[in-house]
Amino acid sequence: MKKLALVFMTILLAATVVSADDFYPPEWRGGPLSVEAEWDFDSPPANWYYIPPDYFNAVGGSGNEYLYSGFGTHAEVGYPTSWMWQPLIDQGGGITPVDGSGGDYLTFAMQNWVDMEPWKDVRIQITGIWQDITTLDPMLNELIFSIDVVGSPVENWMMTDAQIFAYDMTGWFQAYIDLRIWPNPDWEKIAAFIPEGLIIDQVYIDTISIIPEPATIALLCLGGLMLRRKKA
Ligand SMILES: [Ca+2]
């Protein structure tokens, strides 16, 4: 498993963060073989092992593919007793590890298109609250280094971008993370360690199976060769 993480860079200090939760949608949303899922966490989860998305949409391609049906798209935590739901003014609510829990893993299980395309691109948008602005950057860096991707099959993945999109002085922030996974899995589970003190208000995940240009296929093959040489 290969992982490349980029350092977060703050690109915008916004006066009001919370006006738009879907703050940085990928331009490829709605394209062939894409899916999108949104979690608002605006009411206490009935089952912490299976939190269905508030919105899910899947767009097919040529008709030769089908949506993976082994599980439904959902979020799940490692230990339900480590979590609590809390109301948020004007934002419904969010979920956070309880004091003393030490934090816990939060996993997003994504149904995806079973197709023959070589790789998958993913954008994860997070809106949350972290009270200490001076530690926002290191906290998110730790979070992205904790990310793990499993799926069928997932042999390689890398982080292609990670940015704090906006934050404000009350602790609200928005950040996004881009991943590339290959070979393209039929489903994937994306897990991240959520520390105590981090309130997750909303998560938006987009994925798309990429139909590459021939030049890009050559680059991918070259990359594969170089990886193999490194191992040898
Ligand atoms: Ca919310």
Q: How far is the CA of 14 from the centre of ligand 1 (A)?
A: 19
Model pTM greater than 0.75? yes
Count of CA atoms in the C-beta half-sphere (13 A) of 203: 25
Phi then psi dihedrals of residue 80, to 5 deg: -55, -35
Identity of the highest mean pLDDT range in 57-66, 71-80, 219-228: 71-80
Give mean pLDDT, residues 106-120.
94
Q: How far is the CA of 129 from the centre of ligand 1 (A)?
A: 11
Ligand 1 centroid distance, CA of 42 (Å) = 5
Distance CA 3, CA 34 (A): 23
Q: pLDDT exceeding 90 applies to what percent of the chain? A: 69
Specify whether the CB–CB gap between 187 and 31 falls below 8 A. no
Residue 230 has pLDDT above 50, yes or no: no
pLDDT at 217: 57
Q: Residue 62 C-alpha to ligand 1 middle, in angstroms? A: 35
Q: What is the mean pLDDT of residues 91-101?
A: 95
d(CA 180, ligand 1 centre) in Å: 27
pLDDT at 124: 97
Residue 1: predicted pLDDT: 43
What pLDDT score was predicted for residue 222?
57
Please count the CA atoms within 13 angstroms of the CA of 134 that sit on its side-chain side: 0
Residue 226, pLDDT score: 52
Provide Rg for the chain, Cα atoms.
Answer: 18
Span from the CA of 223 to the centroid of ligand 1 (angstroms): 40
The pLDDT value recorded for residue 89 is 82
According to the model, what pLDDT value does residue 17 have? 58
Reply yes or no on whether the pLDDT at 228 is more than 90: no
